[in-house]
């Protein structure tokens, strides 16, 4: 496998450094370490070249176990349920891909989603295994996601987000807040919440900041423009709930709605609507706008 091919494969694979143990082979270690995956499944994955060594080569079934050995494996979900939404590609060149992600589609593989993710779909559509997302938006959120298409220029684009050289604009529909004065800025400290997938506001120095404007008023619901200065997990959803206007159809905030299945007719009313930045490769100003609209 060439260096570039291995790099591309590595971007899609998970990595395990073999833990200490009494095993004779890597196969035995994998079977016990991942006890939820049957021996037959590991046999099948190894036979299909879906388990790689540190050099990116498929391992043999009898590869001797060695503590700390680096192994790459491809996650698979048997009978993965299709997600009946379709993504759009708004822009693509040799360095950058801009996609419009529909609600409910994860950006990257996680949990029960592997092939039904924006990343895997784009890799197949563009025949480019080098694609890597430059940032994330929640599965329930729709809108713009940037991807690096070229490992050679990737680091230049990756610096845009932590150095705040990119302007992000979101739109949300939530309860009217006539008691507050807009535009306003909400700052707070976000910490891990309960259950494990939620975030919550806690005491201490703020680590998140969101500017909020009112775009449109429609009776008891308003359309808000949200400008996140920081980019913490679930930041906008937590901030709107904290202001007293949880975003419409949010299954996590302000309260977790238990056992809720995806309702494709009533998605979370949150959209990553606009991105603007100076392209670090070309020096040109770029601005992208989602083609998705949030209906009342």
Domains of the chain listed by start with CATH number:
3-73 (3.10.290.10), 88-289 (3.30.2350.10)
Secondary structure (3-state) at 172? strand
- Position of tokens 């992600």? 101
The pLDDT score that the predictor gives to residue 78 is 65
Cα separation, 40 vs 286, whole angstroms: 50
24 Cβ neighbours under 8 A, 6+ residues apart = 64, 65
* Token duo for residue 58: 């498929």
Contacts of 57 (CB under 8 A, 6+ apart): 1
| Strands 14-17 vs 70-73: parallel, antiparallel or unpaired | antiparallel
N-to-C CA span, the chain: 51
Q: What is the pLDDT along the chain (296 residues), one digit of tens a residue?
A: 444 444 444 446 788 999 999 999 999 999 999 887 888 889 988 988 889 998 888 999 999 999 999 999 887 766 778 899 999 999 999 999 999 999 999 998 776 787 889 998 998 899 888 899 999 999 999 999 999 999 999 999 999 999 999 999 999 999 999 999 999 999 999 999 998 899 999 999 999 999 999 999 999 999 999 999 999 999 999 999 999 999 999 999 999 987 778 999 999 999 999 999 999 999 999 999 999 999 99
For residues 10 and 13, what is the distance between their CA atoms, to the nearest angstrom? 5
Q: What is the pTM of this model?
A: 0.78
Helix (H, G, I), strand (E, B) or coil at 146: strand
C-alpha Rg value of the chain to the nearest Å: 22
- Retrieve residue 48's tokens: 């299909």
Q: What 8-state DSSP symbol labels residue 243?
A: H
Residue with the two structure tokens 């494709």: 264
Please, are residues 66 and 18 in contact by the beta-carbon 8 Å criterion? yes
CA distance 95 to 92: 8
Answer for the pair 142, 292: CB distance below 8 angstroms, yes or no. Answer: yes
Task: Give phi and psi for 176, each to the nearest 5.
Answer: -65, 145
Nearest to 233 by CA among 148, 136, 165: 136
Give Cα 113 distance to the centre of its chain.
Answer: 11
């Amino acid at each position: 496998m060439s260096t570039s091919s291995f790099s591309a494969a590595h971007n899609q694979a998970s990595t395990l450094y073999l833990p200490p143990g009494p095993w004779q082979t890597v196969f035995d270690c994998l079977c016990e370490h991942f006890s939820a995956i049957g021996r037959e499944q590991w046999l099948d994955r190894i036979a299909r070249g879906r388990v790689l060594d540190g050099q990116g080569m498929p391992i043999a079934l009898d590869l001797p176990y060695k503590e700390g050995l680096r192994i790459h494996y491809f996650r698979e979900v048997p009978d993965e349920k299709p997600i009946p939404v379709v993504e759009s590609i708004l822009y693509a060149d040799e360095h950058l891909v801009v996609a419009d992600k529909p609600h409910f589609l994860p950006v990257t593989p996680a949990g029960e989603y592997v092939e039904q993710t924006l990343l895997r779909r784009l890799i197949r559509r563009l025949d480019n295994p080098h694609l890597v997302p430059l940032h994330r938006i929640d599965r329930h959120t729709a809108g713009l996601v940037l991807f690096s298409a070229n490992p050679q220029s990737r680091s230049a684009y990756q610096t845009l987000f932590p150095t705040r050289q990119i302007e992000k604009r979101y739109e949300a529909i939530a309860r009217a807040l006539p008691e507050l004065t807009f535009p306003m800025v909400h700052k707070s400290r976000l910490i891990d919440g309960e259950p494990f997938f939620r975030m919550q506001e806690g005491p201490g120095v703020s680590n998140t900041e969101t500017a909020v404007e009112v775009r449109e008023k429609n009776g008891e619901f308003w359309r808000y423009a949200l400008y996140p200065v920081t980019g913490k997990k679930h930041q906008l959803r937590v901030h709107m709930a904290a202001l007293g206007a949880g975003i419409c159809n949010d299954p996590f905030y302000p309260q977790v709605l238990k056992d809720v299945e995806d309702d494709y007719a009533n998605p979370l009313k949150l959209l990553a609507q606009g991105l603007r930045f100076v392209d670090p490769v070309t020096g040109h100003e770029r601005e992208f706008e989602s083609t998705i609209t949030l209906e009342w």
